[in-house]
Structure 1
């Protein structure tokens, strides 16, 4: 009996030892797993910060841990998705200060997308202007590339022009947005050394804050220019309908490429027409071609958005015509015939200031503008026969903010259809900003 008990005891001890050893091994394995996971996490963070430092030359751009981004978007919840494009998805989120931000999660994890992210971080960290969208930080971790921007509650200019969001923008607001956008692009071209060429100026990359102030966004395709030459050679990229035809033809990128794209935006502001619309006649599919034809023949009124009520006063009609004439010059096929962005910006400010001129002066200008664009386009620039001088001593401007502003994300469900930052707009089955497009053949040469 005692032998049997002793054997049972020894077996029990042996089993207990085996179980204890198994538990110990399991505990060691779990500890090793978490240590390795933490090590990989720290390695990813260090790798992300290293890439960030290489891109910016410093650590001035805040680095957000992936877990904070994930928490801010509720695990990238569909309820917080604000927009989806070819290169990524934008979510609304709150980080540490309870303020809404726009978080763009890049979809593709390849060298090209990583390069675009680093390019945008590098450029935005080197510029500062009230009409350029602020980059608040980024996250390069767990194989993800994420950019964090300030939140733009009033969406994009394109959404308003296409009646997809909010009320119709009055002419004074549109003119102010055009002027502010031109200031931002001028800053990139003239205040930076070397200059920066945006390469993707379009209405969906012009964002509007709570007061409808303009913010130029999306620098993924931007490039630094060259100080010792008028252009740089690079494969043409951009969005169909906005790409400079000379850049598309000979791969020569210059500051005048942005001028051309901005000219298309000016036509959008005047007409509220789509930049590319296959429902229009074949020769008018491309808005630039349509505008060149109508403006060159002195038939601007045919493309003016009727919601602007251009005939309600002399200043509105004359200023729309002047902006149309400016757009016409920006759309010149030969880049040497286009104005610089600084000249465009100065002229838009003169047009804004002319709203304070006496009524008789505005009526004279309206007549002058009509006569100056009455002859068919023959390849040369159209010039106004007279201009309105900027009035001295203007202390304030006409109110340009619509009566009703948009609350900052009052209800998430109400904001799902609007995107606070541009994520390359879908282009025929979500392919946007292709490097080439056949539609440019429609642009008059």
Structure 2
């Protein structure tokens, strides 16, 4: 708002004021008026990013209704007023990035203290000059804190063990202080914590055992004085760990291979330790691993398998002076991907006047609302992860009610405080400027935390740059006269041109209308209805030019996947809708009737757990299907670690429930009912909330009333998921989908593909099951490492879920439940844990197995199983369909 001056005068007279947000006004200076304490009805007070100074008024403790207090990023000095402990309704307390001094106030018989804030979820005191010990009395089991940010202060003494009593804690940053002594062992009880940073202190004793922190994503224990030891192997038991940092420490001995094989690990930073001997990264390097930094150790030789092709830094080790000095490993500047930035690839060389910038979607010049987002505790450190930053872009334009594609993220980096810093530019939906009300609304939502980023980004704050609003300037008479004369002459010339242009356009429109009414005519093989327009419900026809434009001429930067059918592109329509476009390649196209039948089938089903068809294109020799865009890819990618998304057990249950509901709809509520025929983890997609949607109806069969329950058909499906009874009898029923879904349920438990190295997942699970093992049912060794160490308390309904999966994969279809039975069973599992089952959470081409006149062997006999992993596709996300080769003509009812 570009306000200037001081916050003083008779502000206390605004007794009905409930919210005061003056954030991002860097010309607001001076001390805060004590009269702020008179605003008894105030609920929100945000003064972040200004230039206020002096002490925080004691009178703020009178604001008993206050729930949100943000005074961060100013120049406040002095001590934290004990009276803030009177704010019993406060859930957000942010005093970060000031010059505050002294100890943290604790209540006494004569004074209030911060330990009384039992409703507070956020203690953000980082980047001050607070000193003294962290009081043990500050924390208690009654507290509900999720963020404790005390980094960048001058705290001394030991870490209080009472922090371990706050079981709700998700982020603990105590780094950059002068803490000493041992790390309390009961911190291991913080099972919900996902970031722990104790770096740059004087901590001593053994390296703490953190194996109880089963949700830990990021840990940094650097620059302390722990007892010299080998790297503890409990690191490798943390299923969610993405980043391990322990630099300038006392680790010695060989580097364990297991440090590189975590399923989610992205970065291992262990420079300036005393590791020696041979470095071997083993043969099971984690699929997400991007960086290994072992500078300045004593490593004498190295063995790196062909699996690892990313950054390994060994500068300052003996191996770089005696053996491989000319390799990339001994160079600091290695070739690596650039950090993510929003692409402007389709704007070419276009430039804008001063202070204006190019909108990434429209390439129009405009005045963006700019600033910097500071994420104080992100759970990742890999700045090249496109999916994560795409999710942030979509989250911003969706939740801030902006046009899709109007968000630009540039130059992400981790600053000296270890915060993720990202330059943000938001572009107006129309015109070149935002109006004042839009800037006020967006700024307020970013300052009062109404906007919630994707959970991987953690707590944040936003510092905006001043916005220059449009100035309304008058037009002089002389310039008006000149403009009138110019316009008059122009219209004289244009009048002659319009007649010609109009005639040409009318002709083109007529031709286009004919094409739209019979877009299939040129593809028809035979039959009097060959050119009839398909009967669509909720989907529409797209022109080739429209899809070409929204994908930047099908550019590589818009390509998000590929498969046997063709390539998949991300596009944004003119109304802002984000779409996925599947473009058939030559050799995989169908005839007109088959394609028409396909889109009629796809357009008739509408359910929140089915990927929706937006439309199609069938012109200029092209066949394209347009789907709603699923930003988090396939379930298989998440289970394999390729997407960088961590699926805890509850998320897996919700994914199972959502996809089961989608299939139940196809079987029982679609008209006519539909059998999917190719249910698998690559055909279950995840939206921005990790809600599951079933995709790919390219092999589906409509079930007429007369034949429901036994459709005789050529056998199609994917080996590993294929119902053996269907394979041997060629009688297709809904229970064939149930079998395939049971295999997907086993994938959710094990993360294994149905067939790996000649072993079939159903048989492996059946042999391993032991109901006498109440916690893991004998499945611990087969379980996905990402959930293996989840406590029994959090592994809700595991045994019932496993039994349900095994019922689904019974050999006889008659012994399997229906999909609606499966839905009810999973709902009961979630309801028993008190979860709301109505809320959201969080491909290879299919194979044609043909037919045989003789008896068919069971498809999963040992001698029939391939040794190569089934469904081990290197394709990217959004291979929405395995193909459109329907085995028989499908007629809509």
TM-score (ref. length: structure 2): 0.36
Cα separation, 2, equivalents of 1:212 and 1:52: 41
1:378-421 superposed Cα distances (whole Å, 9 cap, x missing partner): xxxxxxxxxxxxxxxx76889943xxxxxxxxxxxxxxxxxxxx
- Aligned partners of 1:114 and 1:145 also within 8 Å: no
| 1:275 lines up with 2:754 in the alignment | yes
Alignment of 1:45-444 (within 5 A): 45-48=516-519, 56-58=534-536, 60-108=538-586, 112=590, 117-228=595-706, 229-278=708-757, 282=758, 284=759, 286-295=760-769, 299-309=778-788, 311-314=790-793, 316=795, 319-356=797-834, 400-401=841-842, 425-426=843-844, 432-436=845-849, 440-442=859-861
Shift of 1:118: 3.2
Shift of 1:69: 0.8
**CA distance change for structure 1 residues 45 and 52 in 2, over 3 Å: closer, same or farther?**
farther
Shift of 1:288: 2.6
- Aligned partners of 1:109 and 1:144 also within 8 Å: no
**CA distance change for structure 1 residues 59 and 324 in 2, over 3 Å: closer, same or farther?**
closer
**CA distance change for structure 1 residues 109 and 64 in 2, over 3 Å: closer, same or farther?**
farther
Flag the structure with more relative contact order, 1 or 2, with Cα contacts below 8 A and sequence separation at least 6. Answer: 1
1:14-54 superposed Cα distances (whole Å, 9 cap, x missing partner): xxxxxxxxxxxxxxxxxxxx999998766544332678995
**CA distance change for structure 1 residues 243 and 115 in 2, over 3 Å: closer, same or farther?**
farther
Partner of 1:30: none
Cα separation, 2, equivalents of 1:296 and 1:174: 22
* Matched pairs, number: 342
Cα separation, 1, equivalents of 2:724 and 2:533: 31
- Aligned partners of 1:295 and 1:324 also within 8 Å: no
Higher strand share: 2
- Aligned partners of 2:666 and 2:674 also within 8 Å: yes
Cα separation, 1, equivalents of 2:686 and 2:665: 18
Shift of 1:58: 4.8
SS at match of 1:441: coil
1:157-179 superposed Cα distances (whole Å, 9 cap, x missing partner): 11100000023211101100100
SS at match of 2:716: coil
- Aligned partners of 2:536 and 2:600 also within 8 Å: no
Shift of 1:84: 0.5
SS at match of 1:440: coil
Cα separation, 1, equivalents of 2:573 and 2:858: 43
1:300-348 superposed Cα distances (whole Å, 9 cap, x missing partner): 33321121145513351x5122111111111111111111001011001
Cα separation, 2, equivalents of 1:176 and 1:243: 24
1:187-224 superposed Cα distances (whole Å, 9 cap, x missing partner): 11111232100111111111111111111111111111
SS at match of 1:237: strand
Shift of 1:80: 1.0
- Aligned partners of 2:743 and 2:805 also within 8 Å: yes
SS at match of 2:859: helix
**CA distance change for structure 1 residues 110 and 101 in 2, over 3 Å: closer, same or farther?**
closer
SS at match of 2:717: coil
Cα separation, 2, equivalents of 1:435 and 1:84: 20
SS at match of 2:643: coil
- Aligned partners of 1:152 and 1:210 also within 8 Å: yes
SS at match of 1:169: coil
Cα separation, 1, equivalents of 2:641 and 2:531: 42
Shift of 1:440: 2.6
Cα separation, 2, equivalents of 1:295 and 1:44: 60
Higher helix share: 1
Supply the RMSD in Å over aligned alpha carbons: 3.2
Cα separation, 2, equivalents of 1:289 and 1:119: 38
Cα separation, 1, equivalents of 2:641 and 2:721: 20
- Aligned partners of 1:65 and 1:139 also within 8 Å: yes
Cα separation, 2, equivalents of 1:247 and 1:63: 36
More displaced stretch, 301-310 vs 90-99: 301-310
- Aligned partners of 1:55 and 1:121 also within 8 Å: no
Partner of 1:370: none
More displaced stretch, 152-161 vs 108-117: 108-117
Cα separation, 1, equivalents of 2:565 and 2:595: 10
**CA distance change for structure 1 residues 295 and 195 in 2, over 3 Å: closer, same or farther?**
farther
